[in-house]
Amino acid sequence: MNLVIGAIPYFAIPFLLSLIFVPIAKRIGFALGIYAQENTRTVHHGKIVRIGGVAIYLAFLIAITLLWSADDTINGILIGGSIIFFGGLLDDMYDLSPKIKLLFQIVGTILVMVLGNIYLTDFHILSFDISNPVITILISFFWIVGITNAINLIDGLDGLSSGITTIVTLTIGLLGFFMGRRDVCILALCLSGAILGFLPYNFHPASIFVGDCGAQFMGFTIACMSLLGFKTTAIITLGLPILVLFIPIGDTLIAILRRRLKGQKISEADRGHLHHILMIKLQLGHRRTVIILYIVTALFALAAILTYFDPRKGIWMILALVIGTEFFIEYTGMLNPKWHPVLSVLNRLTGWPKMLDGEDPVDTKYLEQEKEHES
């Protein structure tokens, strides 16, 4: 009981600060004209401020400063995270080129690794133990940059990235608690509190967006937390974080492969993301799509927790989730309309199921209905 009471400030203070800061960020965004631009990819309508991440960043920063004595780890996360945040904020304001955005991410990642000593020292996979510092540092570098971008890429629907990030953050914090990592628990409580203070304004229909500044900052902080919490465990290093982050990681990897197969640039946006498939192609609607992705994220998070306590049962749950994911990818043509090796065999044997086409979903009728509904 004392432990729970002691943890309350770490969550409550950033939560309340975020609730207060979001309306201020909205006013500033309107005054400066920092709106999300409508295009063929977006599903929102009207002028919506896209710097909600300012509230999350400030709430997290103030809470950590007030509640925790600074050390190398915290200083590294705050300095590196600030670089990531300001790079995202400039992108929200001026639409930076992909190369400039990547430069901010590289600088922030290098700073957190150097100043905060946040990187893998050993990499355990199957029966192999990789301790070569060049390899482990490179893995750590690409992990942080990759997760930073993965969270940003799923920020396509109201409340999606913020809700998924909250589930991921709380799961990492819970696993950190089981592992005796107080630092991970505190970081998780502060970040989840700041995000949940923002979420009521961001859930559909959103009055403010998290923006690149918020999405990248959340992704960066989660990546650092996962390295802190799991780099010393005997379980497959990063295996549990990968499970918890399965939705953003999987969506990002599939997007990269899909665009390369189509001959597009990796940075070229499309409407083939998971949330687009669910909302438009399967016509599940905005809220239902977001809630479904919350549930799926929670299932993978549960699999990670189960694997920590009972690897055998955890592996069975992971296998079931991965098979379900493969069926979904093949059925919807999310990767490629010709990619359905498992379901094609099933279709020949039973005549079921009939695969959907793999084109990017552009249901203009549905989008018009959404527009009328929101207005």
Mean pLDDT taken over the chain: 85
**pLDDT tens digits, one per residue of 168-217:** 999 999 998 988 888 999 999 999 999 999 999 999 888 999 999 999 99
Separation between Cα atoms, residue 129 and residue 234, nearest integer Å: 10
Model pLDDT, residue 236:
57
Of all residues in the chain, the percent with pLDDT exceeding 90 is 50
Residues 59-76 have a mean pLDDT of 92
In the structure encoding, which two tokens stand for residue 302, read together? Answer: 């549960």
Q: Indicate the range of 2-11, 27-36, 321-330 predicted with least confidence.
A: 2-11
Does 356 or 371 have the greater pLDDT score? Answer: 356
Separation between Cα atoms, residue 198 and residue 11, nearest integer Å: 13
In the structure encoding, which two tokens stand for residue 339, read together? Answer: 């990619």
Number of other CB atoms surrounding residue 179 within 10 Å? 15
- Structural domain of 321: 2-374
Does 338 or 181 have the greater pLDDT score? Answer: 181
**pLDDT tens digits, one per residue of 249-266:** 888 888 888 888 777 777
Residues 57-77 have a mean pLDDT of 93
Length of the chain as a residue count: 375
In the structure encoding, which two tokens stand for residue 343, read together? Answer: 């379901």
270-284 burial: b if 16+ Cβ within 10 Å, else e: ebbbbbbbbbbbbeb
**pLDDT tens digits, one per residue of 162-174:** 999 999 999 999 9
Of all residues in the chain, the percent with pLDDT exceeding 70 is 85
Separation between Cα atoms, residue 145 and residue 106, nearest integer Å: 7
Does 242 or 208 have the greater pLDDT score? Answer: 208
Identify any residues that bridge with 125 across adjacent strands, giving them in sequence order. Answer: 128
Give the orientation angle of helix 286-309 with respect to helix 311-332, to 10 degrees.
150
Q: What is the DSSP string of 26-83?
A: HHHHHHHT-BPPP-SS----S--B--THHHHHHHHHHHHHHHS---HHHHHHHHHHHH
Q: Which of 63-72, 81-90, 278-287, 365-374 has the highest mean pLDDT?
A: 81-90
In the structure encoding, which two tokens stand for residue 347, read together? Answer: 């279709």
**pLDDT tens digits, one per residue of 82-138:** 999 999 999 999 989 999 999 999 999 999 999 999 998 877 765 677 778 898 899
150 burial type by CB count under 10 A (0-12 exposed, 13-18 middle, 19+ buried): buried
- Tokens 């304001």 belong to 93
Residue 373 has pLDDT above 60, yes or no: no
What's the structural domain count of the chain?
1
In the structure encoding, which two tokens stand for residue 291, read together? Answer: 């809630």
Q: Which of 37-51, 231-245, 346-360 has the highest mean pLDDT?
A: 231-245
Model pLDDT, residue 104:
97
Residue 365 has pLDDT above 50, yes or no: no
Model pLDDT, residue 372:
40
Q: Which residues contact 80 (CB under 8 A, 6 or more apart)?
A: 108, 109, 110, 111, 112, 115, 116, 220, 224
